[in-house]
Structure 1
Amino acid sequence: MTPDSVEEFYRRLAKDNPNPRSELVFKNPYTLLVSVVLSAQATDVSVNKATEPLFKIVDTPQQMVDLGEDRLKDYIRSIGLYNNKAKNIIALSHILVEKYQGQVPADQKALEALPGVGRKTALVVLNVAFNRPTIAVDTHIFRVANRTGLAPGKDVRAVEKALEDVTPEKYRLHAHHWLILFGRYICKARKPECLRCFESDLCAAVKETGIPLQS
């Protein structure tokens, strides 16, 4: 896309959803961190269903440590890879208590050093909990960036770098959520809803074929 097209692409996203929010339900930076760790290879809906009762009794690292790994598993066993996720959540909670006085650090390297926390999780936490203008590339964003021509790249890091380069500063804070929600509900993987898409005239995939991807 040209710079003018990129500007228009984001302008439309902002108009459609001026104040986007994560669909994960959380109470504070710590419960957000737990939710994002749980969301790997799982839907936000499934994570919220599991954490609703959990977060009624646990919302700090110390409370999670006191709960223990076995009891945590009882709450999250409906989520894929729950055994390994429970182990990581208890381990990272110990570290937060012992090293950060029970607080989630607002630092990418510190976050990425926690068990079960990779680059994407760290960037999501920085964006949502600490209002940092980071863009964490998940499968939805990767698809949207390549399909539309917004920021093509052959891998996640390439797309992340491309989005950082092309996204105007005034849209950086919310870009992550706009693109995720757009990919989740309109520019879907198997059945993109081009006929109701407000970006179709800017989309490289539509321009290439001359017709919407779905009739």
Structure 2
Amino acid sequence: MPDQQTDDETRTVPGAGDEPAVVGGRAASDGISLAEPTIADGPDLWRLARDTGLDINSPYAYTLWARDFADTSVIARDEAGQPRGFVTGFIRPTRPDTYFLWQVGVDPGFRGRRLARRMLDHIGERIAARGLVHLEATVTPDNAASRALFESFARSRECEAVWTPLFGREHFPADGSEEHEPEDLVRIGPLGRPGTDDKHVRRHT
């Protein structure tokens, strides 16, 4: 995942006053609901990625993602049903106990509502319920907001966030005058549900 775009509040008070995840498509008090995307959401995922400044992929890629990886992704909608954020990710084929989070995007008009954290909590609950043990993502060294987001998530689940270099500039093609920044891997786990002993059981098995 080249980068993540997160809520502005994450920059200042990571982890403070985080709102609980919204599950099963139920709306929170502010009208935001979280659910699995459908094929019809593919164009909206692409537009959100474009408008939030993420490294954008083709519209086809997002529509295909909404078909094949819906159960490991989430789309956030406001009370009018308009898409306002998304998370895409997948279960690693060679490490089926590990979820890799690919992109996080939040509508610029909905920043400051901790939407990125709420979507991450939602995904965390879903993958923990499926028995997955770790969550991974990559972040550029200068992306302080995303680093704070993942550190806060790890603290909330009382588990470790381990950072290691993964991709260097040499792993990416030069695009004109721009060079892709290096990517550090964060590996969070062992995952359990907040307030339970799940993580402690998994740690010793």
Higher helix proportion: 1
Higher strand proportion: 2
Structure with larger RCO (C-alpha < 8 A, sep 6+): 2
TM over 0.5: no
Q: Which protein has the larger Cα radius of gyration, Structure 1 or Structure 2? A: 1
TM-score, normalization by structure 1: 0.28
TM-score, normalization by structure 2: 0.29
